[in-house]
Amino acid sequence: TSLAPGNIVDYSESDESPISKTVDVEVSAGKNVSEDPDVVIMNETTVSDKSLPTNSEASVARRTRSRAGKGVETANTPVQTPKPTRSAKGTGKKPLYGPPKPVSKVIPRNEEKQKVKKRKAPPTSDSEFEPETDVAASGSTSRKSIGRKKVPRSVPYAPLDNVSFHLENGSARWKFVYHRRLALERNLKEDILQCQNVVEAIEYAGLMKTVCGLDKCYDRLVKEFFINVAENCDDPASPEYRQVFVRGKCVKLSPTVINQYLQRNTKEVADLKVTDNEVCKVITGGRLKVWPTKAKLAATSLSPLYAILNRVSAHNWVPTTHSGDVARGLGKFIYIVGTKAKFDYGTYFFHETLSHAMTYAVEKPVAFPTLLCNVILEQHPDILRSTDVPC
């Protein structure tokens, strides 16, 4: 049987690979041309004439369209990559492959500053500092936390010759106390002594021995006393309750002992309860009725009486180098003295001494050195050494 040249399609080996589902292919072993005039036999593969394209170019184009975008890899053909979409061509951008990138979030500058300034959450101990470490064993001078207290980054060496250490950590604390300066009290000047209302207020408070006729102060003795103040000095369960051992002698330190030295009444007095606004109104002579929100009051706004008491207190009772500003604690103290309110000054000096003794801040001056030195010498006049030099 002869076939027309236009109905013959020549397939190569590469065309025997799987093609689109639109072409129906099935193997036929027993059919011929005479039995079915609509069937053409080529290489024992039967293909329905109804599904064949009219020409080879249309068949190739159809198979090309059906395979586009699939990227089928065979042994004889290279790996096909997907073509860029029309949207990428239209925008003029290069096509991107792979998973899409996450959209970056733009953070305003003010939010970035807030994140930077935000402090870290405190540890589980609800404390800003780490637990106590053994500084004597480590010997390090880097910034660490000892007993929940900040320690300076580096402290110069301090000589240990002839220093009396009663506590185990005394040698480690010595260099921090050694480099602290003493906030020496000052005697009242003649112009202040002529102000009758100021002198009466100080005499009523029983603080004249802290501002007049001050005795000598010995720097080394006071600092050795400070390093031997135990943390549990005010603990009734401690065997050394309110006792400080200096140079082999026991010095009694308590509110009662301090009040006796000041010749004040030793009876306990309840804590004074007064608001900051009331303090501000009194010490400014009524010019200000509300304590400033910036936490400090300008010394220029004080009345004449409290301006003088502020100068005396900044040197003798509440040591500070910022005499131009009045903090809340300083303002309350001069309010108590000026109004002649009942107050236990012995308890105040006692607790402030413990607070100053426990700190590791080198820049913080030692408070009430002359008062403490006089309390020590009153109990043990022979405690001085030939090397002690008065300030």
DSSP for 174-208 reads: HHHHHTPPB----PPPHHHHT-HHHHHHHHHHT-G
Q: Is 217 within a domain?
A: yes
pLDDT of residue 379: 94
pLDDT of residue 198: 94
Q: Cα(62)–Cα(66) distance, rounded to whole angstroms? A: 6
Q: Is 255 within a domain?
A: yes
**Cα 164 from chain centre:** 37
Q: Is 30 within a domain?
A: no
pLDDT tens digits for range 225-243: 998 988 888 899 988 899 9
Q: At what angle do helices 219-227 and 345-358 cross, to 10 degrees?
A: 80
pLDDT of residue 154: 77
Q: Is 297 within a domain?
A: yes
Average of per-residue pLDDT values in the chain = 74
With contact defined as beta carbons under 8 Å apart, do 337 and 202 qualify?
Answer: yes
| Backbone torsions φ then ψ of 150, nearest 5 degrees | -75, 140
How, if at all, do strands 149-150 and 243-246 pair? unpaired
Alpha helices (runs of H) in 262-344, residue ranges in sequence order: 276-283, 304-316, 328-339
Note down the domain range covering 238.
178-383
Percentage with pLDDT > 70 across the chain: 61
Q: Cα(128)–Cα(109) distance, rounded to whole angstroms? A: 28
User: ∠ at Cα 6 (4, 10), nearest 5°?
Assistant: 100
Q: Is 126 within a domain?
A: no
Range ranked top by mean pLDDT from 73-77, 136-140, 221-225, 321-325: 221-225
pLDDT tens digits for range 336-358: 999 999 999 999 999 999 988 88
Choose among 266, 281, 367, 258: nearest CA to 332.
Answer: 281
Tally of domains in the chain? 1
Task: Name the residue with higher pLDDT: 166 or 329.
Answer: 329
**pTM score:** 0.60
Q: Is the pLDDT of residue 93 over 80?
A: no
Q: Is 232 within a domain?
A: yes
pLDDT of residue 173: 82
The DSSP-derived string for 195-252 is -HHHHHHHHHHT-GGGTSS----BHHHHHHHHHT--TTTT-TTSTTTTEEEETTEEEE
The stretch 291-296 carries a mean pLDDT of 85
Alpha helices (runs of H) in 96-182, residue ranges in sequence order: 109-117, 135-138, 170-178
Q: Is 218 within a domain?
A: yes
Q: Is 156 within a domain?
A: no
pLDDT of residue 223: 92
Residue that the structure tokens 């994140």 belong to: 115
pLDDT of residue 363: 84
Choose among 364, 359, 362, 298: nearest CA to 155.
Answer: 362
